[in-house]
Amino acid sequence: MFIMIEPTSSVPIYEQLTRQIIEGIVKGEIKVGDTLPSVRAMAADLGVNMHTVNKSYKALAEKGVVTIKAKSGAVVCAGDALNEQQLLYLQQALKPVLAEGIVLGATEQQLENMLQQLLRELTTKEAML
């Protein structure tokens, strides 16, 4: 699977990496049990600091997407059943985006369509960019 990083984007690189790995898992391009490249290798390949990759892997571990094991590195895990806390976190993450949409005048229907479309996009295997 390819990761495409835009160094000039306003989204920080560690955030881009995190998002794309999550998308890769959703699309089935990264499977449960797969090991992500080592922090050093990943940093070299991306041409960034090891700290950046570390930050991203830690964020993935916090979200419960990977488990960091001492010897084998970051392993993609099956994720337990979604708990209340995670659901709450997702809700809070969505809130400002929806608020922005409403301020800009998007209708409820438009926002719903958008959500449906995104869900379809993510669950079918298509190129990311």
Stretch that binds another protein, among 4-12, 55-63, 85-93, 114-122 (CB under 8 A): 4-12
What are the residues whose beta carbons fall under 8 Å from the beta carbon of 1, sequence distance 6 or more?
24, 29, 30
Q: How many residues are there in the chain?
A: 129
Q: Which stretch binds another protein (CB under 8 A): 40-48, 90-98, 106-114, 115-123?
A: 40-48
In this structure, the number of other CB atoms found within 10 A of the CB of residue 96 comes to: 9
How does 11-41 read in b/e, with b if 16+ C-beta sit within 10 Å?
eebbebbbebbbbbbebeebeeeeebeebee
| Nearest-approach distance from CB 2 to another protein, in angstroms | 6
Q: Which stretch binds another protein (CB under 8 A): 39-47, 77-85, 90-98, 115-123?
A: 39-47
Q: State the DSSP code for 125.
A: -
Residue selected from 24, 25, 57, 65 as contacting another protein according to rule CB under 8 A: 24
For 24, residues 6+ apart whose C-beta sits below 8 A from its C-beta are: 1, 3, 30
Q: Which of residues 43-82 bind another protein (CB under 8 A)?
A: 43-50
Give me the least distance between CB of 129 and another protein, in Å please: 7
Residue with smaller CB distance to another protein, 35 or 91 = 35
User: Does the footprint of another protein cover residue 8 (CB under 8 A)?
Assistant: yes
Which one, 14 or 84, has the nearer CB to another protein? 14
- The Cα–Cα gap between 116 and 18 comes to 22
Applying CB under 8 A, which residues contact another protein?
Answer: 1-8, 24, 30, 36-38, 40-50, 129
